[in-house]
Structure 1
C-alpha cells in the first residue's frame, strides 16, 4: 500500500472548522477515488497542527487522487493552513484493526535513515520492534512508512485513549532505542496528536 500525508499548521482558532470539513466532505471525496483504502485525521489543537493521511492500493491511485482533488483540497485547507507539506510514502508495515475517533491518541515519529538501510529498518521493525510494541497496553494500530529515495521513515501508532498514549511513552522509547541501535536510524521529530478520525486499513 501507499500513503500520502498532508501536514498543515495555522492559527489554532481556525482549526476546528477545517478539521470538520476534512472529516466529512474530505472523507467523502477520498472515498470516491479508485484505490482508496483508508484515512487518518489528527490534530494538535494547542499549537495549531493538522495531519491528514490517506491510504492507497497502489502508487498510480495515490497520484491520480492527488491530481483529481487538488483544487478542492486547497479550498478546504485554505481557512486554516498557513504552511502545508505533502509527502508520499510506501507502507512497509501496517497493523490497524478498528476505526477510531475522538478520544483516541496518535504518536508520530519521523526518522532519517540511509537509503541502503531501509530494508534493514523494515526487517528490524517487523521482526524485533513490532512484537514488543504490540504488547503495550492500549495500542490499537501501528504502521511503518518509508521513503526509499529520500532516506526517511515514519512510525505512526494509535492508542485507544489519551491515558494509554501517555502511559506508553517509557516502554515505547525503550523499543525505539533498541531498534535505532540496530538500524542507524536517527529520530528527527516526535509528536503526539488527538485522533479525529482513523479508519481501519488492510494489513501490509
Structure 2
C-alpha cells in the first residue's frame, strides 16, 4: 500500500473547527476515489499541529487522488494552517488497528537513513521492533512508512489511550534504541497526537 500525509501547523485556537470539518468531509471525498483504503486524522491541540494520512492500494490511486483533491484539501485546512507539508510514502510494514475506542493516541517518529539501508530498516522494524512493540500494554497497532529514494521514514504507533501512551515511553525508548542502532538510522523527531478519526477500508 501507499500513503499520503499532510502535516499542518497553525493557530491552536482555530484547530478544532478545521479538524471537525476534515473529519466530516474528508472520509466522504476520499471514499469516492478508486483505490482508497482508509485514513487517519490526528491533532496536537496544545501546540497547534494537524496530521492527516490517507491510504491507497497503489501509487496510481494515490497520485490521481492527490490531483483531484489537492485544491479542496487546501481549502479545508486554510483557516488553520500557517504551513503545510505533503509527503508520499510506501507502506513497508503495516499493522493497522482493527478498531479504536474514543480517547486513543498516536506517536509519530521521524527517521533518516542512507538509501542503500532501506531494506535493512524494513527488516529491522518487521522482525525486531514490531514484535516488541506488540508486547507493550496499550499498543494497538503501528506501521513503517518509507521513502527509499530520499532516505526518510516514519513509524506511527497507536495506543488505546493517553495514559497507555505515556506509560509506554520508557519501554518504547529501549526498543527504539535497539532498532535504530541495528538499522543504522537517525531519529529526527518524536511527536504525540490525539486520534480524532481512523477509518480502515478492507478490499472487497
Q: Does 1:115 align with 2:126?
A: no
Does the residue aligned with 1:99 lie in a helix, a strand or coil?
coil
More displaced stretch, 74-83 vs 193-202: 193-202
Does the 8 Å CA contact 2:109/2:154 hold for their aligned counterparts? yes
1:8 alignment partner in structure 2:
8
What stretches of structure 1 of length at least 5 have no aligned partner?
none
- The change in CA–CA distance for 1:4 and 1:124 in structure 2 (over 3 A counts) is same
CA distance in 2, matches of 1:101, 1:133: 19
What stretches of structure 2 of length at least 5 have no aligned partner?
none
Q: Map 1:25-36; keep pairs closer than 5 Å.
A: 25-36=25-36
Does the residue aligned with 1:149 lie in a helix, a strand or coil?
coil
TM-score by length of 1: 0.96
Q: How far 1:72 sits from its partner (Å)?
A: 1.0
Q: How far 1:198 sits from its partner (Å)?
A: 1.6
Q: How far 1:177 sits from its partner (Å)?
A: 0.3
1:43 alignment partner in structure 2:
43
Q: Map 1:166-177; keep pairs closer than 5 Å.
A: 166-177=166-177
2:161 alignment partner in structure 1:
161
2:24 alignment partner in structure 1:
24
Does the 8 Å CA contact 2:97/2:158 hold for their aligned counterparts? no
CA distance in 2, matches of 1:26, 1:144: 23
Pairwise CA RMSD of aligned residues? 1.1
CA distance in 2, matches of 1:51, 1:101: 19
Does the 8 Å CA contact 1:100/1:195 hold for their aligned counterparts? no
2:63 alignment partner in structure 1:
63
CA distance in 2, matches of 1:108, 1:79: 24
The one-character-per-residue Cα deviations of 1:25-68 (angstroms, maximum 9, x if unpaired) are 11110111110001000000000000000000000000000000
The one-character-per-residue Cα deviations of 1:95-136 (angstroms, maximum 9, x if unpaired) are 123233641100000000000001000001111111111111
CA distance in 1, matches of 2:60, 2:101: 29
TM-score by length of 2: 0.96
